[in-house]
Amino acid sequence: MTNTEPLLAVEGLTKLFGSFAACDGIDLEIGHGEIHALLGENGAGKSTLVKMLFGILAPSSGRVCWKGKPEDIVSPAAARRLGIGMVFQHFSLFEALTVAENIALALDENVSIDEISQKAAELSKAYGLPLDPAAHVADLSVGERQRIEIVRALLQNPKLIILDEPTSVLTPQEADKLFETLFKLKAEGRSVLYISHRLEEVQRICDRATVLRHGKVTGACDPRGETPATLARMMVGGEVATVMRDDGVAAGDVQLEVRNLTLRPRTPFAMELKNLSLSVRAGEVLAIAGVAGNGQGELFDALSGEYTTEDNDAVRIRGRAVGRTGINGRRLLGAGFVPEERNGHGAVSALSLSDNLLLARNRSDARSFLSGGILKLIRHEAVKGATQRICEAMDVRKSGVDPAAGSLSGGNLQKFIVGRELDRQPAVLIVNQPTWGVDAGAASRIRQALINLARAGSAVLVISQDLDEIFEVATTVAAISEGRLSQSYPAATMTREKIGLLMGGMHGLETANAH
């Protein structure tokens, strides 16, 4: 055997869920020492494919060949024995345990903690992934947590590492460090299967790309010879709408104001909010940048009323103090909210889209869906009509007229949840990670909708880890780090480097400018 033979070859791989083909006859080859991108819209079949490669799902038909030999990958342990490692988008770490203890839980053989600590320290140094094996995960940044996942994958000595959206929680500086590690792995002859919606990254680091659409391979290319726009066209099968922003819109009155907000942590691993202040005017999009785990979730909870504050004046909506007012009371003042977590927080997976719409309406909003006197009856046709209106406005692709929320792909469910709030035309909209894990077409539609809402006179606050998104939608930018918020700056004055420094805790623009 020579290295001209692919490391991994997928031949006609198919996965059926009932009559639905999530993957339909996929052919794919990954060479030795190659960084190979896997691209596609939400619901294209990427996650299903890599779950089959890592032994989480069994294929319905087709085969996987490893170094030219057909293999039946029946479990993650079997995948690791072959030489396949995987780093998932959502980390599986126990915060109360140390780095070494978390690594031990993922190993298939019994190894002492001392030996694991020594090997982890050696690997982390060799690959430029600094880690303290004795540190508790709860005390680590998100970037450091990702290093744990990569180091414990490397401890298995893999020939192929699958990375799922690896930079979605990193600052630009941390992403650059990760790329250095990937190039080192490539130089050693190891291969990487790289899944990302950030097409500039794919263009920068990947040798080849395979594109999936509707469960089928629809194209392959050398991304270094493409542009983000041409890669996006390959993914969606057509042009992706350009986000259009009108920077000439004059800001109006303050619609959302936070005054010296301090919030004690609700759990041992939550982030304390420390004396935060901000204001958002009508016609303005304030984007708050930050690496995950620096207080974004806690800030959203405080602004939405999920967690109330002792100081009623700490949060004001349209001039009214609402610090001690819950979600429904804030909705009645014209506020809308889109949480980060789609399933279970933004929507009830088992319920239909129309039922989810009804659940999110407050007393005044729901009147058009009710009839009768004292005993109110739900006008189901009105609810379903509104659901269809939202789906058409946001291009929500679904199976059936009114399917369960959990049956939608992540991107389509996100479009529905955002559309559900936009349908109310809120005076204030607060969105946490609006396009998390969403493909280029869906992201473009959501971002344009946020801009259009502000253009119509609403105040929009976007909490996001995606710097591309921030530059596309924001008129004003701030950054959150360790529960503290920087001052706000006009988006036109910011660069990726400056925002990255603010995300790292350097909260003076003079400091950022000095770099």
CA-CA distance, 107 to 112, in Å (whole number)?
Answer: 11
SS3 (DSSP) at 20: strand
Measuring CA to CA, which residue among 153, 150, 121, 149 is closest to residue 134?
A: 121
The structure's pTM equals: 0.71
- Amino acid symbol at 92: S
Determine the pLDDT at residue 375.
Answer: 56
Exposed (0-12), middle (13-18) or buried (19+): which is 332, by Cβ within 10 Å? middle
CA-CA distance, 432 to 306, in Å (whole number)?
Answer: 14
Q: By mean pLDDT, which of 10-19, 31-40, 423-432, 438-447 is the weakest?
A: 438-447
Determine the pLDDT at residue 1.
Answer: 41
Determine the pLDDT at residue 455.
Answer: 93
CA-CA distance, 183 to 350, in Å (whole number)?
Answer: 43
Q: By mean pLDDT, which of 38-47, 69-78, 468-477 is the weakest?
A: 38-47
CA-CA distance, 290 to 169, in Å (whole number)?
Answer: 9
CA-CA distance, 309 to 322, in Å (whole number)?
Answer: 9
Determine the pLDDT at residue 68.
Answer: 94
Tokens of 36: 């190979």
Is residue 366 very low, low, confident or very high in pLDDT (cuts 50, 70, 90)?
low
Give the mean model confidence (pLDDT) for residues 380-388.
89
**Contact yes or no for 25/12 (Cβ under 8 A):** yes
Determine the pLDDT at residue 164.
Answer: 87
CB atoms near residue 255 (< 10 Å): 28
What lies within 8 Å, CB to CB, of 224 at 6+ separation is 203, 206, 207
The count of residues in the chain is 515
pLDDT at 434 over 70: yes
Which phi and psi angles does 487 have, rounded to 5°?
A: -70, 165
| Higher-pLDDT residue of 368, 311 | 311
**Contact yes or no for 67/160 (Cβ under 8 A):** no
Name residue, tokens 């009147």: 367
Q: By mean pLDDT, which of 22-26, 205-209, 382-386, 398-402 is the weakest?
A: 398-402
pLDDT at 509 over 50: no
Give the mean model confidence (pLDDT) for residues 312-317.
96
Determine the pLDDT at residue 511.
Answer: 42
Which phi and psi angles does 433 have, rounded to 5°?
A: 55, 65
DSSP 8-state code for residue 10: E
Q: What would the pLDDT profile of 473-490 be if each residue is shown by its tens digit?
A: 999 999 999 999 999 999
Distance of CA 302 to the CA centre of its chain: 21
Which residue intervals of 206-359 are DSSP H helices? 228-236, 296-304, 327-332, 353-359
- Amino acid symbol at 258: V
Name residue, tokens 């069994």: 58
- Return the half-sphere exposure (C-beta side, CA atoms, 13 A cut-off) of residue 400: 11
Q: Got the DSSP string for 88-139?
A: -SS----TTSBHHHHHHHH-SS---HHHHHHHHHHHHHHTT----TTSBGGG
Give the mean model confidence (pLDDT) for residues 263-273.
82
Tokens of 71: 């293999």
Q: By mean pLDDT, which of 143-157, 296-310, 362-376, 464-478 is the weakest?
A: 362-376
Measured CA angle at 398 (ends 228, 45), to 5 deg: 50
| Higher-pLDDT residue of 346, 242 | 346
Pairing of strands 208-213, 35-40: parallel
What lies within 8 Å, CB to CB, of 220 at 6+ separation is 208, 209, 210, 211
All domains of the chain in start order, with CATH: 8-236 (3.40.50.300), 254-334+426-513 (3.40.50.300)
pLDDT at 388 over 90: yes
Q: Where are the beta strands (DSSP E) in 147-284?
A: 160-164, 191-195, 208-213, 216-221, 254-263, 273-281
| Higher-pLDDT residue of 373, 412 | 412
pLDDT at 498 over 70: yes
Distance of CA 161 to the CA centre of its chain: 20
Pairing of strands 69-71, 84-87: unpaired
